[in-house]
Amino acid sequence: MRLTNLLRTTVSAAVVGACAFGFAGAASAQDAGQGSPQTIDDIIVTAQKREQNLQDVPIVVTSLSAETLQDAGVRDIKDLQILTPGMTVTSTSSEASTTARIRGVGTVGDNPGLESSVGVVIDGVYRSRNSVGFGDLGEMSRIEVLKGPQGTLFGKNTSAGVINIITEAPSFTPEFNGELNVGNYGAMAASGSVTGPISDTLAFRLYAGRRVRDGFMTIDTGDGPRPEVDDNNQDFGTVRGQLLWLPSDNVSFRLIGDFSRRDEYCCIGTQIRTANTYPFIDGLSNGTGQRPPAAGNGPLPFLRTGYANRSNYQEVTDRGVSLETTIDIPGINGSLTSVTSWREWESTLAQDIDYTGADIAYRLNDGDYGFTVDNLTQEIRLAGSNDSFDWLVGFFATAEEVGRTDSWYFGADYTPFLSFLLSASLNAANPALPISPSTIGCYTRPGQISGLAPATVGFLQCLGSGGAAGGGGAGFTVGQGYEDVYDQDSTSYAIFTNNTWHVTEQFDITLGLRYTMDEKKLQGLQRNTNGNGNACSAALGNSAAIGAVLGASTSSLLGRFCLPWSNSAFNNRGVSESFDDGELSGTVKAAFRLNPSILTYVSYARGYKSFGYNLDRVQTGITPNASLLFPSEVVDSYEAGVKMTLLDRTLLLNATYFDQKFEDFQLNTFLGTAFVVESIPELTSRGVDADMVWFTPVEGLSFQGGVTYTDAQYGAFTAADLSNPGNFGQLSLLPGARASFAPEWSATGSINFDRSVGNGLRAGFSVAAKYMDDYNTGSDLLPYKLQEAFTTLNGRIHLGAEDERWTAEFWVQNLTDEDYIQVAYNAPLQGSAFQGTVQPNGTFFNPALDTQTYDAFLGQPRTYGATLRFKY
């Protein structure tokens, strides 16, 4: 039957795709030969690893058809968020650092040691990092966004949800599709695909695409030698080939191979608040070096100008092969499915670390900065059904290698900049000590004396002369300072089952269980180069003389010499750790159909996100942490929902209440000097998801709406509750507060219209909008990182032949040119927000004492252009 059915369905694939749930459900009628209205019954999903009608599945699912994705201009995961309420997708210092969040839950993606809270699955293959799923997705059949823990069927690291992407399969009907795009910012794109039979049982599909675009930001290159004067450009290509072999009616093989490459420069952050360190950067760089401060060091107006004297060129390649084998077994009314995959993802990056025109610190694209993910997976599922029972059992295994190389270069301005910082702090306490770029040698001079004794010249006199007398010690060597290597090997095995008992025609009970065993091993070498660490050792060697002069402030000042990138304790430091753990997860659901139009359900699910290692230099004070391990994250989720199909099954109204409690939530936060992973004892996310879809009686006109209310809050905790109590000061705003990237309200809405206008032509339009309530974009919740509420609006109009031989479109993304930030962060070494002691508000943050300069990665501006599609 498989061969017969697939040969038949490939002819009508356009009809099925057009009826699939679009714009969170509402797709326009695309089949020129069909005049009947669409119904909700046409919306098919695979959220439970079997084809089901959306309204029969007791899970919150947003299913987006190919037409909907096309009308909304969705090319990658980041574009997807305009169609999905309650979901945000952001990237930071490179597109290799992309993070998806659902219901306010996700993990910042700058650290490859952290796996995702929102799983990405493409054609049945799990992608362990969000960034490896960020790229041109090619020809898509549909995307399903599943909200809440989905670990029973989709495995670990889906504690917040799953983005399930299904691409177009080969067809036995010959077809060619082409697309040309032009737009502002010099955007140009071309793509095409061809599909058809090779024989009666073998079909193929080949897709290739290329996109280029100039950058969104203007860059002031300051001291140079950065050659690029814009940033956030686009230059990547994708090739994807498939074979579908149907040797018999009951057997199918689908082989997929793909390769993509990005060669871009991305991404420069720009100042949203410039504070006290501005005069030093201004004095060290050509030009101002960064945006001049506002009055009173207040917030700066939105501006797409960044500062960087060093290049941030990035190369990202992604390739892989997968084979899906399906064998129908009529005797059990079921099937055996095997999915085997191999994938290799690699990034080679560069970075201007300080994001200023001064030459302070940077990373080169020389092979010493980037990360790789090599992955083998195997899944086997056996599923069947009868009148009263649907059952599924399966096995999953994966072997993964994650490699990270990290490097740091000291610029010519690092030593004088650090001197400015240290002398300024001393000047604030004693104006007799001048602010100077030349005092580092005062701290590092061999055998330095205090200078307190009469007729002696030492540390005190050196500071008083701005480094002119009693100094002579070494500064920080210009050039490469360290070269670290991390290799993490992991294996994971799981057995799972998901079963539904049809107790009556109206009442179903589902039980799913999964047991996962994980093992991870980490080997690494942290190595200083070119004498890096000597300044730290020299300053520590003079601690007695320095302490005699500076007293209580000695420790904090000496700590500046021994930051993670300059700490002698990391020189030739080996890292070797291993850990294994098992976790039982699962779900229980009860669904009751009140009548053919209304389904109610309640569910419980337990999700699991694996433990891991922080692949970075991490220290407490100036002592490297003994272990880089962080524990697993688990979530318990309760839901109660209703799904209604009304108006002759053309109107969908769904609503679900959710209550999720995460324990040991893995928070990855940038503390201004390094990324730290801390397990927050408790995070709760409660709220309501609601969706509406209406296929109206007017031919080709449909509406969609979705609203998510989320109350995501951290539980109360103290320093004693953290794995490293020393991190509490910079996390002291979290207890009892709303989590970052968790807007209280988010909503989507769309209108799609497409119909014949006579003379062999079709015309239509689509409009999509998303509203996001205000939310904080920083994991430490500092007030300057707040993004105020905003709305983005996309639009598209089209005219083409009824048989789709050609279609011309004019489109605009972010129509109103809304200004918004993706992620705000503390500019490295440029001030401090948290104090060393508890402040009157009970936290370590005092707005009146905040000297931190804040940078941000910006959202995309308005883009517009034209597209020409043709099909034969």
For each successive 10 residues of the chain (872 residues), what is the average pLDDT?
A: 40 31 33 49 85 90 86 83 91 81 82 85 86 72 92 88 93 96 97 97 97 96 96 94 97 96 93 97 95 96 97 94 97 95 95 97 95 95 95 97 96 97 95 96 95 91 93 93 97 97 96 97 97 97 95 92 97 97 96 96 95 94 95 96 95 96 92 82 97 93 94 97 93 97 96 93 96 96 97 96 96 97 95 94 96 96 97 94
d(CA 101, CA 105) in angstroms, rounded, equals 5
| Helix (H) or strand (E) segment spanning residue 818 | none
Phi/psi of residue 326, nearest 5 degrees:
-130, 130
- Count CB-CB contacts under 10 A for residue 69: 23
Cis status, amide bond into 442, omega within 30 of 0 = no
∠ CA 145-792-216, nearest 5°, is: 100
Length of the chain: 872
The candidate with the shortest Cα–Cα distance to 362, out of 413, 296, 396, is: 413
The answer to whether the beta carbons of residues 227 and 298 sit under 8 Å apart is: no
DSSP lists the bridge partners of residue 720 as: none
d(CA 502, CA 488) in angstroms, rounded, equals 45
The answer to whether the beta carbons of residues 132 and 373 sit under 8 Å apart is: yes
Q: What is the DSSP string of 281-323?
A: HHHHSSS-SSPPPPGGG-PPPP--EEE-SS--EEEEEEEEEEE
The candidate with the shortest Cα–Cα distance to 37, out of 27, 52, 45, is: 27
Sign of the CA dihedral 728, 732, 737, 740? negative
Residue with tokens 């070498």: 525
DSSP lists the bridge partners of residue 630 as: 612
∠ CA 837-838-842, nearest 5°, is: 170
The answer to whether the beta carbons of residues 19 and 27 sit under 8 Å apart is: yes
The answer to whether the beta carbons of residues 574 and 627 sit under 8 Å apart is: no
Query: Max CA-CA distance within the chain?
Result: 102
The per-residue pLDDT for 127 is: 86
The candidate with the shortest Cα–Cα distance to 526, out of 564, 563, 558, 489, is: 564
The answer to whether the beta carbons of residues 470 and 451 sit under 8 Å apart is: yes
> pLDDT tens for residues 148-187?
999 899 888 899 999 999 999 999 999 999 999 999 999 9
Phi-psi region of 2 (alpha: psi -120 to 50; beta: other; left: phi over 0): alpha
389-428 burial code (b ≥16 CB/10 A, e <16)? ebbbebebebebebbbbbbbbbbebbbbbbbbbbbbbbee
End-to-end CA distance of the chain: 29
The candidate with the shortest Cα–Cα distance to 97, out of 84, 74, 80, 116, is: 116
What's at 587, amino acid-wise?
T
Query: How many C-alpha atoms does 332 have within 13 Å on its Cβ side?
Result: 13
In the structure encoding, which two tokens stand for residue 471, read together? 């100094």
Strands (E), 671-776: 675-695, 701-714, 745-758, 761-772, 775-776
d(CA 216, CA 269) in angstroms, rounded, equals 12
d(CA 55, CA 43) in angstroms, rounded, equals 8
Strands 619-620 vs 854-858: parallel, antiparallel or unpaired: unpaired
Sign of the CA dihedral 824, 828, 833, 836? positive
CA 823 centroid distance within chain: 11
- Tell me, yes or no, if the pTM score tops 0.75: yes
Three-state DSSP class for 444? helix
